[in-house]
Amino acid sequence: MTYRGPKGTYDVYPGGREPHERPELWRWVEGVAADAFRRYGYTEVRTPIFEEAELFVRSVGEASDIVRKEMFVFEDKGERELALRPEGTAGVVRAYVEHNLFRAAQPIKLFYRGPMFRHERQQKGRYRQHTQIGAEVLGSADPLVDVEVIHLLYAIHQAIGVRDEVVYLNNLGDLETRRRYVPELRAFLQANRSDLDPDSVARLETNPLRTFDSKDRDTQAVLREAPSLHDFLSRDAAGHFATVTAGLEALDVPYEVDERLVRGLDYYTLTVFEAKSAALGAQDTVGGGGRYNGLVSELGGPDLPGIGFGSGIERMLLAATAPEEGSNLQVFIVTLSDEARVPAMRLAGALRESGVACDLDYGGRGAKAQFRQADRSGASCTVVIGDDELSEGVVKLRDMSSGDEVSVPAEDAAREVVRLLDR
Ligand code: HAM
């Protein structure tokens, strides 16, 4: 009996074929993101990968695709209904309220990284377990925070070389605006019901805004005549948006306003955005997010605003010009006799303790095979220990780029290797 990973999942392993299957690329992206979060002043938050299912129903929205069809829901032994998290925002806001973080100086700027779960149809760039890096800023309504969050997302993408990226931007207005707009939109769509695709008809009552996501040609033709949300925006909402676009221009973030951009999660207010890469196929959204000014109070906290983004590491890697795979091994130790193996192990221990990446043969291979292994490993220095070296109390160091060899006293070996690597 053999097993395969569950549908919609993938493994990260040495020599992985796709960019998101290669461990060294994950480490690289995570390092780039961690450095950006540090420079922008964000602190890490970690929340569980499962929560009460109700938390997501309340925040992401009952009528959203995520809640209707994509959540992995299960009951625990106490008959509590739990769900694997489909996204990160709900858990972070829950933790912000639960731990009274709103009492500290605001805003609180948080980042996270971890797996999310959605029962979607698998295709390139879409998985049932994917990993997001995300940021959430809680407790400030300042439009310049929107600018910072979008700039941070864009900067991370730039640092890993995401190709041909544009940030699409929209303003959904505040909840009051939407309360006035949605009935107008619904009435208009009702009047044109016969030209809409079945999914859009089904959404008429629950979530007519999502009609803008429809790919159906006839539905799109109807929508061209639809009332525009932007005509319903309050002065405050329009002013907020103007500051966001001015900020993005000042920071040279390439953006386009897309009045039809609506997101798949219901908690958004005012600014929403999606960063898309022309280098990707159907799943071209590398990251997205927006403001959620009603969510903290919806989840039992005070009436405080928030904004954030989530970006899938898999899609970032698929859209990036990945660096060539470089070896990070620095030293390989070749042993020419059985007696040399324990001293080699001791030298490897000393090198590893002093921060040098070092390896040796565990396959009982002959000298020739070990030298080949040393070559292939990409190490810049090879240490050779055989019977001659043991009896003389030395080891041989070979500089792999020049081929030069020197003998050094065994007790100085670790120091000499470090010196050679520093040259
Ligand atoms: P989202 O747009 O649903 O937003 O997901 C964010 C990103 O996660 C997407 O742009 C994509 O890169 C990645 N992603 C989502 N689903 C999949 C999947 N099935 N396979 C691969 N990648 C995927 C959110 O989740 C919000 N929590 C973002 C946010 C944070 N809004 C405010 N704060």
Mutate to test the pocket of ligand 1, among 93, 116, 274 (most ligand atoms within 8 A of CB): 116
Do 287 and 88 form a contact (C-beta atoms < 8 A)? no
Query: 168: CA distance to ligand 1 center in Å?
Result: 15
Provide the pLDDT for residue 324: 64
Q: Name the DSSP class of 68.
A: I
Other beta carbons less than 10 A from residue 365's beta carbon: 14
Q: What pLDDT, on a 0 to 100 scale, did the predictor assign at position 174?
A: 87
Tally: H helices and E strands in the chain: 15, 16
Q: Is 310 in the pocket of ligand 1 (CB under 6 A)?
A: yes
Q: Which atom of ligand 1 is nearest to the CA of 89?
A: 27
What is the whole-number distance in angstroms between the Cα of residue 226 and the centre of ligand 1? 28
Output the CA 224–ligand 1 centroid distance in Å.
27
pLDDT tens per residue across span 364-406: 899 999 999 999 989 999 999 999 999 999 999 999 989 999 9
Closest by CA position to 374, among listed 399, 351, 352: 399
172 SS3 class: coil
Give the Å distance between the CA of 279 and the centre of ligand 1: 18
- Which ligand 1 atom is at minimum distance from the Cα of 285? 10
Give the pLDDT confidence score for residue 90 in this predicted structure.
Answer: 98
List the structure tokens of 241. 């948006």
Give the residue from 345, 310, 262, 319 showing the smallest Cα distance to 118: 310
Q: Report how far ligand 1's centroid is from the alpha carbon of 250 (Å).
A: 27
Is the separation of the CB atoms in 286 and 311 below 8 Å? yes
The alpha-helical segments, DSSP class H, found in 160-300 are: 175-191, 198-206, 217-223, 235-250, 295-298
What is the tens place of the pLDDT at every residue in 105-126? 999 999 999 999 999 999 999 9
Residue spans of the chain under pLDDT 70: 322-326
What the block records as the tokens of 408 is 């050094």
Rounded Cα–Cα distance for residues 360 and 395 (Å): 14
> Is 285 close to ligand 1, i.e. is its CB under 6 Å away?
yes
Q: Using CB atoms within 10 A of its CB, is residue 416 exposed (0-12), middle (13-18) or buried (19+)?
A: middle
Task: Please tell me if the CB atom of residue 289 comes closer than 6 angstroms to any atom of ligand 1.
Answer: yes
Q: In this predicted structure, what is the pLDDT of residue 411?
A: 95
pLDDT attached to residue 45: 98
Residue listed under structure tokens 């809409």: 196
pLDDT digits (tens, 9 = 90+) for 56-89: 999 999 988 999 999 999 999 999 999 999 999 9
pLDDT at 71: 98
Does 284 sit in the ligand 1 pocket, CB within 6 Å? no
Q: Cβ distance 11 to 5 under 8 Å? A: yes
Both structure tokens of 239? 């002013």
What's the Cα-to-Cα distance from 190 to each of 181, 203, 229, 262, 349, rounded to whole Å?
A: 14, 11, 17, 19, 73
Closest CA to 292 of 78, 125, 58: 58
- 371 is written with which tokens? 């030298």
CB atoms under 10 Å from CB of 333, counted, come to 27
**DSSP code, position 6:** P
* Cα(149)–Cα(166) distance, integer angstroms: 15
